Amino acid sequence: MEFLNTVLIVGGGGREHAIVKALLRTDRPLCLYAYPGNPGMENDGCMLVDTPIGDWKELADWSCSNGVELVVVGPEIPLCEGIVDIFEGTGIPVFGPSKAAAQLEGSKAFSKMIMEKYDIPTAVTKTFSGKTDAVAYLKKHGVPIVIKVSGLAAGKGAMVCLTMEEAEEAIRQIYDAKAFGSASSVVLFEDFMVGEEASIFVLTDGKNFRVLPAAQDHKRIFDNDLGPNTGGMGAYAPAPLVDAVLRSRIEKEVIRPTIEAMRKEGIPYRGLLYAGIMVTTEGPKVVEFNCRFGDPETQAVLPLVDCDWFEVFKACALGGLDKVKISTRDGACATVVLASKGYPGSYEKGKVISGLETAEQHKSDTDVYHAGTKRDENGSILTNGGRVLAVSSWADNLDDAVNAAYKAVGNISFDGMYYRKDIARKGLERLAGKM
Ligand code: GLY
């Protein structure tokens, strides 16, 4: 009988579906479970955990009873809640940082303290707990300024304020409307950084690390980076913004010192370190750290990485990443997110999605990742979220990857489907020497 390695993936978005597809790209026989998972992960052979799970301890017990050998955690909330620590007693390796290490994302005040203490380049920042001091500082500093709540805020906790009206509205939201709850018990006021942002993903076992191809996200809802922020409307990799010289500066000035800092603090960081880097005229500076893969950048990065992900995730959890083979494919990948009309505001759910199989017919160069979908009783796939799907295509160059992704998108439809038409435009302009 064939021996299967059993893996549990925690999460149910496009990022976790991309992790499943990456795990399946090798010949290693795998038995995959997902909690909660999504219909796309299920179509790819993942079994969804069907036992009610009340907390992470119950998921740990379930994993022990079901022969799980490795857990891969996608989202930040379970990591910041300490899922890795909870699994520790089970002996099952978990890909992701401990609760203390996940503070790099979970507490912006902690993350800033690390950066300041270890001279990791970032924006000048002041931290306040009370409104009076915060308002006095804002008046003295003026705009532009970036106001950030320290805790997790579902991607909405960083407010770039270009006018005093915007800054005052941010203050109102934080201190009067209490829109961020306890996440805003500490608030950071950062100098506004001018530049372009890149997402740098780093796999680490706490000592050794590997930097994956740099990506760029498209945070705004409309073309040309207009409109409100979203969770991310598309991505591409490798980002031409991050050339070899810049990449090595980021590695030397940000990544290595951060991993060493966490070791020196006695809280080694294992898993995926995501550094949001602003490329300024003074060099790379950290916008923020996240303790997990980015979404949708993961959907653009993983198809370019050649490795046995089971082995890589396990090595990150247990050590020995230096002994694992990881290579990057030539070429590029582009990811287009398909959203429900109205997102990031209110939107309708339950629209029938058609064309998924046609879109994915070229499996050698295109993946369709489910994010906000559900299956109805007839087996049809319906929309069930703001970001519904992500379509990634890879090719020998970025131009071809973008064209292939949009061609695949052309096969998919649902009522109110919306997507940006300018994914990777900045990268293409840079490659054409126009930037
Ligand atoms: N794409 C941004 C994030 O994952 O936080």
- 284 - beta bridge partners? 279
Cis peptide before 238 (omega within 30 of 0): yes
H helix or E strand, kind and range, residue 6: strand 5-11
pLDDT tens sequence across 372-412: 999 999 999 999 999 999 999 999 999 999 999 999 999 99
Q: Please count the other Cβ atoms lying within 10 Å of the Cβ belonging to residue 106.
A: 24
Residue 400 DSSP code: H
Cβ atoms within 10 Å of 32's Cβ, excluding its own: 22
- Tell me whether the omega of the peptide bond preceding residue 97 falls within 30 degrees of 0, making it cis: no
Tell me which DSSP letter residue 249 carries.
Answer: H
Q: In the chain, where does the domain assigned CATH 3.40.50.20 lie?
A: 5-99
Cα of 293 from ligand 1 centre, angstroms: 8
pLDDT of 128 higher than 80 = yes
Per-residue pLDDT of 413-435, as tens digits, reads 999 999 999 999 999 999 999 87
Q: Is 256 helix (H, G, I), strand (E, B) or coil?
A: helix
- Per-residue tokens: 160: 């770039």
pLDDT, greater one: 89 or 397: 397
Output the six-digit token pair for 184: 């805003």
pLDDT in tens, 264-292: 999 999 999 999 999 999 999 999 999 99
Q: Given ligand 1 and candidates 104, 297, 298, which is best to mutate, with the most ligand atoms within 8 Å of its CB?
A: 297
Nearest CA to ligand 1 atom 2: 294
Q: What is the pLDDT of residues 27-50, one digit of tens each?
A: 899 999 999 999 999 999 999 999
Confidence (pLDDT) at 1: 65
Per-residue pLDDT tens digits for 61-88? 999 999 999 999 999 999 999 999 999 9
Residue 98: phi and psi, rounded to 5, are: -65, 170
Predicted TM-score (pTM) of the model is 0.97
Q: What percent of the chain stands above pLDDT 90? A: 97
Closest C-alpha to ligand 1, atom 4:
294
pLDDT digits (tens, 9 = 90+) for 202-237: 999 999 999 999 999 999 999 999 999 999 999 999
Q: Where in the chain is the domain with CATH 3.30.1490.20?
A: 124-191
- The encoded tokens of residue 46 equal 């993942």
DSSP 3-state of 49: coil
CATH of domain 5-99: 3.40.50.20
Q: What is the DSSP letter of 345?
A: S
Ligand 1 environment, Cβ below 6 A = 155, 217, 232, 290, 294-295, 297
| Fold observed for domain 124-191 | Dna Ligase; domain 1 (3.30.1490)
95-108: average pLDDT: 98
